[in-house]
Amino acid sequence: MRVGMGGRAISIAFAALTGCATVPRTFQCPTAGGPPWRQLASERFILRTDLAAVEAGELLGRVERLRAAVVAGLPGGAPEPSGRVEIIAFRTLEEFRPFAPENALGYYVRYEGGPPRIVVPGELGPWQRAMLAHELSHDLLAGAYKRQPRWFAEGLAVYMESVEEGAQGTRVTVGMPSKLRFERARKSSVPVRELLVWDGTPALHPGVDYYASAWLLVHWLVHARPEAFAEIRRHLVQGGEPEVAWRTALPEYDPASEGSLERLDAVLAAYVKGKLGTSTRDAEAVPVVGYFEQPLATPEVHAVRLAIWQFRAKKTEAELRSEVRETLEEDGSHPIALEYLGVLDRQDPAPLARLAVAGHPADARAYTFLARSLTGPEDGSEREAAYRRALALSPRNPAAYLNLGQELRASGRPAEALPLVRQAAHLAPWSTQVLAGYAAVLADLGRCDEADAAERSAMDAMPERSTGEERRNIQERLRSLTGQCRAGPAAGPGGGAP
């Protein structure tokens, strides 16, 4: 049974609150006299920032030029990414720090299936630039390769941290890492035998050593064994097993041959002590970046802060409640704030979601909130309609495709779900959740080989921060799905291959 709660009850609950920043803090929203926020949307990025208009445009241009340099510098090239990347840029380091992990100078988030998100202070120093090049490389690689062992993905991403643009932005140089990466590779190299099975779980060496060693292996392949590296890339682009790709390209270093990888350790140790090469390539010139600019209303400024709240190094429930209250003062039906309110106060979310939809009938977030709040079997039709409306309002968001696809699959209509989850995988090939959803639908349809491939890609894409339990859970779930597929899919409404 649900207890109803209309818009009037919400307005009464917050009527006593006046002014922005009810809990003392350095942030001042625009309504309280803080700097205005703006949104700049280009073809590849959405920038939300309180930088001045000219500085915001310059930042977006620098990011676009960096992306073009990464595209040019990646060995073997890369396709254009299909989805947008969101950037949140705070005007000052002091504004940024409360919304960042301890000691971070910038960070990158891939969440559920929505657009990747970069959070930085407004000034792009060398560290932020290297971080952006690293993560943009991951986005591009995910679209190009069906399989990516971690040594390959991280080695290439670290390799691209060094990308340098020429004076006119049409030539780029790659190859030399930061001093920290270089010194770790020389002094604390991880044996190749361990590196080839690295999956991001806690291991014998610090994580920084794996990244440095992966860079060294990739650098050696790019500059000393380019034909072998091209062969490895060819296999991975086609979805081949990484172990087979390695043995085919480098038969003299077959892991099954005793002492072979230890010989390669010695080769790499000598290689990193010599003069390391760099590569120079042509890049697309980006003289002018076209974008659409609009002001960001105060409620949306609060929504930006709520979207990255969980990454704060220090956070209290009182501060979170204050942020939610301030948002609802400005907009009593804001979907993000109402969803937080429901969790904080343990309220039935459905009435809050209906209030959000009534106040924001053109906001995909409101319909997604509504769909998630409708949990009963009798709610199926309304839940599906809400997911469909969210997708119509947000046609470039992979999560919108995934949500509707999973709803159709749950109702026994995998054939209808397939084009949706396939598009989600196209937009977010780096997302474990999206690829797992794609694998599940393929398994339901009896397309077992394709389901196996999507399952392996989902495991490759698991974030390094994933716990061992999380990895085991998704492994078991995916293996169960593909195991059932091999045994024969159960026919359901709308089932069967299209």
Residue 354 has pLDDT above 90, yes or no: yes
Asked if 70 and 140 count as a contact pair (C-beta separation under 8 A), the reply is yes
pLDDT band with cut points at 50, 70 and 90 for residue 487? confident
Mean pLDDT of the 317-321 span: 92
CB atoms within 10 A of CB 442: 27
SS3 337: helix
Q: Please tell me the predicted confidence (pLDDT) of residue 3.
A: 30
Residues 323-351 have pLDDT tens digits of 999 999 999 999 999 999 999 999 999 99
Q: Please tell me the predicted confidence (pLDDT) of residue 284.
A: 64
Q: For 34-38, 189-193, 276-280, 367-371, which range has the lowest pLDDT when averaged over its residues?
A: 276-280
Per-position b or e across 214-226, b if 16+ CB within 10 A of its CB: bbbbbbbbbbebe
User: Highest mean pLDDT range out of 133-142, 196-205, 400-409?
Assistant: 400-409
Residues 278-293 have pLDDT tens digits of 777 766 656 567 889 9
Residue 213 has pLDDT above 80, yes or no: yes
Q: Please tell me the predicted confidence (pLDDT) of residue 285.
A: 58
Q: Please tell me the predicted confidence (pLDDT) of residue 22.
A: 45
Q: Please tell me the predicted confidence (pLDDT) of residue 482.
A: 74
Q: For 212-216, 315-319, 456-460, which range has the lowest pLDDT when averaged over its residues?
A: 456-460
| Cα–chain center distance at 281 | 27
> How far is the C-alpha of 448 from the C-alpha of 110, rounded, in Å?
28
Q: Please tell me the predicted confidence (pLDDT) of residue 18.
A: 37
> How far is the C-alpha of 161 from the C-alpha of 155, rounded, in Å?
10
pLDDT band with cut points at 50, 70 and 90 for residue 496? very low
Q: Sign of dihedral through CA atoms 48, 158, 186, 277?
A: negative
Q: Please tell me the predicted confidence (pLDDT) of residue 393.
A: 97
Q: Please tell me the predicted confidence (pLDDT) of residue 492.
A: 42
Q: Please tell me the predicted confidence (pLDDT) of residue 464.
A: 66
Residue 437 has pLDDT above 50, yes or no: yes
Q: Please tell me the predicted confidence (pLDDT) of residue 466.
A: 66
Q: Please tell me the predicted confidence (pLDDT) of residue 288.
A: 62
| CATH 1.10.390, applies to 43-282 | yes
Q: Please tell me the predicted confidence (pLDDT) of residue 1.
A: 28
> How far is the C-alpha of 189 from the C-alpha of 378, rounded, in Å?
58
Mean pLDDT of the 42-55 span: 92
> How far is the C-alpha of 38 from the C-alpha of 29, rounded, in Å?
13
Per-position b or e across 172-206, b if 16+ CB within 10 A of its CB: bbbbbbbeebbebbeeebbebebbbebeeeeeebe
Mean pLDDT of the 28-47 span: 87
Asked if 457 and 433 count as a contact pair (C-beta separation under 8 A), the reply is no
Asked if 156 and 75 count as a contact pair (C-beta separation under 8 A), the reply is yes
Q: For 98-107, 399-408, 410-419, which range has the lowest pLDDT when averaged over its residues?
A: 98-107
Residue 238 has pLDDT above 80, yes or no: yes
CB neighbour list of residue 138: distance below 8 Å, 6 or more residues apart: 153, 157, 430
| Alpha carbon separation from 161 to 127, 133, 179, 180, 222 (Å, rounded) | 9, 5, 12, 12, 15
pLDDT band with cut points at 50, 70 and 90 for residue 21? very low
pLDDT band with cut points at 50, 70 and 90 for residue 392? very high
Q: Please tell me the predicted confidence (pLDDT) of residue 122.
A: 81
Q: Which DSSP symbol is given to 291?
A: -
Query: What CA dihedral angle connects 355, 360, 364 and 368, to 10 degrees?
Result: 0
With 0.85 as the threshold, say if the pTM is over it: no
User: Highest mean pLDDT range out of 371-380, 427-436, 473-482?
Assistant: 371-380
Mean pLDDT of the 151-171 span: 79
Q: Please tell me the predicted confidence (pLDDT) of residue 17.
A: 37
pLDDT band with cut points at 50, 70 and 90 for residue 82? low
Residues 466-484 have pLDDT tens digits of 667 777 787 788 778 777 8
Q: Please tell me the predicted confidence (pLDDT) of residue 156.
A: 92
Residue 262 has pLDDT above 90, yes or no: yes
Q: Please tell me the predicted confidence (pLDDT) of residue 13.
A: 36
> How far is the C-alpha of 322 from the C-alpha of 17, rounded, in Å?
10
Q: Please tell me the predicted confidence (pLDDT) of residue 84.
A: 81
User: Highest mean pLDDT range out of 63-72, 246-255, 267-276, 464-473?
Assistant: 246-255
Residue found by looking up tokens 């937009």 in the block: 427
Closest C-alpha to 455, from 239, 156, 135, 153: 239
Mean pLDDT of the 398-424 span: 96
Six-digit token pair at 64? 């676009």
CB atoms within 10 A of CB 498: 9
Six-digit token pair at 118? 């970069």
Q: For 63-72, 106-115, 381-390, which range has the lowest pLDDT when averaged over its residues?
A: 106-115
Name 174's bridge partners. 279
Q: Please tell me the predicted confidence (pLDDT) of residue 208.
A: 87
Residue 270 has pLDDT above 90, yes or no: yes
Asked if 232 and 208 count as a contact pair (C-beta separation under 8 A), the reply is no
Q: Compute the chain's Rg from CA coordinates.
A: 24
Q: Please tell me the predicted confidence (pLDDT) of residue 81.
A: 62
Q: Which helix (H) or strand (E) holds 280?
A: strand 279-282
- List the chain domain ranges: 43-282
Residue found by looking up tokens 């890369």 in the block: 78
Q: Please tell me the predicted confidence (pLDDT) of residue 4.
A: 30
Amino acid at 210: Y
According to DSSP H, which parts of 74-191 are helical? 93-96, 126-144, 150-160, 179-187
> How far is the C-alpha of 80 from the C-alpha of 46, rounded, in Å?
16
